[in-house]
Structure 1
Amino acid sequence: MLFYFIIYIFVYMNRLLEIFRNKYFLSTAAFAVWMLFFDKNDMLSQYEYRTEVHKLQEEKDFYEKQTAQVKKDLNELNTNLNTAEKFAREKYFMKKDNEDVFVIIKETPKD
């Protein structure tokens, strides 16, 4: 039984050696190794490019949402006088002549 197993391994190894000695296999393997590991656009570079593209796409989506919100707010400020007055009072502490403005700052507890 062991003898047949050894012969089977020997035959299998001879087939592998024949395949490895084939010039087409060697050239294809060398090309694949070169493209996967040593080329300018190897697998690691492609992974880094894809992660950077994903990150930039997320930033683009964020800024598109921000732009839409700012356009909506600007339209609201230009069309509604009450909103413009509220914005000026909250952001720039503007007041009417007969009013007093009190700014209340909440103290944060210090640990």
Structure 2
Amino acid sequence: MEFFNSKYIKPFKNIYAIVIVVFVVWMLFFDAHSWLFHHELNTDIEELEYQKEHYKNEMAKDNKAIKELSTDEGIERTARENYYMKKANEDIYIIEYEDSIVKQKEDE
């Protein structure tokens, strides 16, 4: 009988305390609007906001590239720098320094 008279068990003899504890547990874990569900939703929202910022930055880069490629000089510069294209009567020499080779290997 000493167990039932313990100071830790006394609050649970009160029906109101039991109802409140059950209600809190139900709302935190089992309800459709539970804390766990809201936590998952908040995590998803943060991830989607990060993706939104990333895609905005990508769109800005793409718009800059489109603007650059809208002129003949921009097309020629892009072709020469990125694709190593040349005119028929030109020779192109690509000079690589040791620093850039080491950095390129690190990036791979």
Q: Could you tell me how far 1:101 is from its partner in structure 2?
A: 1.3
Q: Could you tell me how far 1:32 is from its partner in structure 2?
A: 2.1
Q: Secondary structure at the match of 1:108?
A: helix
CA distance in 1, matches of 2:88, 2:61: 32
Rg bigger for which structure?
1
Q: One-letter code of the match for 2:45?
A: V
For 1:31, the equivalent position in structure 2 comes to 23
Q: 2:63 aligned to 67, 71, 74, which one?
A: 71
Q: One-letter code of the match for 1:43?
A: W
Q: Could you tell me how far 1:76 is from its partner in structure 2?
A: 2.4
Query: Which ranges of structure 1 fall in alignment gaps of 5 or more residues?
Result: 1-12
CA distance in 2, matches of 1:76, 1:86: 9
Q: Secondary structure at the match of 2:29?
A: helix
Q: Could you tell me how far 1:34 is from its partner in structure 2?
A: 0.8
Q: 2:102 aligned to 97, 103, 108, which one?
A: 108
CA distance in 2, matches of 1:97, 1:40: 70
More helix by share: 1
Q: Secondary structure at the match of 2:94?
A: coil
Query: How many pairs are equivalent?
Result: 93
Q: 1:49 aligned to 26, 36, 41, which one?
A: 41
Query: Which ranges of structure 2 fall in alignment gaps of 5 or more residues?
Result: 1-6
Q: One-letter code of the match for 1:32?
A: V
Give me the TM-score of the superposition, normalised by structure 1: 0.64
Change (3 A) 1:35 1:82: same
Q: Secondary structure at the match of 2:88?
A: coil
Matched, 1:92 2:80: no
CA distance in 2, matches of 1:101, 1:40: 67
